[in-house]
Amino acid sequence: MDNKYFWFKVFVQTLAILVTAVFFKGIVVDSVIAAFFAALILGLLNSIVRPILIFFTLPLTLFSLGLFIFIINAVILKMTAFFIPGFTVQGFFTSIFGALFISIVSFFLNILTLKNHSIEIIDLKKRNGNFWE
């Protein structure tokens, strides 16, 4: 992975955490530095711990038709809050909805990027009747 791309992803995750803290009272971020380190730890836990949790809870995840993934995401977010001073997640349901909201915000921020890691503006024009190009 390109070094610039890695730091860009950390920046996007930091923004997602800060936006989530604005909308959820139970998620408190004391500073941008705390959000930055929370993004680093969240990425680390998502890449190492989350696959292990998913593997060991696979029967439960299949039985719940994938809904148990939300619980795993909440646990990862709570673990991040445990490791980072200045980043607090209060309550289990706040953790579930906060993790979901962070994922959604990150998704929309990442949609703006291309494979070459630059921002893309899509210009659609209507041509040939009702077809867009």
Mean pLDDT (whole number) for 96-103: 94
pLDDT over 70 (residue 121): no
Place of tokens 């503006």: 121
Higher pLDDT, 115 or 111: 111
pTM for the structure as a whole = 0.79
- Residue bearing the bigger pLDDT, 59 or 107: 59
Q: Bridge-partner residues for 27, per DSSP?
A: 89
User: Do the bridges between strand 27-29 and strand 87-89 make them parallel or antiparallel, or are there none, so unpaired?
Assistant: antiparallel
Helix (H) or strand (E) holding 23: helix 3-23
Query: pLDDT tens across 11-39, in order?
Result: 989 999 999 999 999 999 999 999 999 99
Q: How many domains does the chain have?
A: 1
36-53 as b/e, with b when 16 or more CB fall inside 10 Å? bbbbebbeebbeeebeeb
Q: Higher confidence at residue 6 or residue 129? A: 6
Owning domain of residue 8 = 3-132
Percentage of the chain with pLDDT > 90? 69
Q: Using pLDDT thresholds of 50, 70 and 90, give the confidence band for residue 5.
A: confident
Q: What is the mean pLDDT of residues 86-106?
A: 93
pLDDT of residue 114: 54
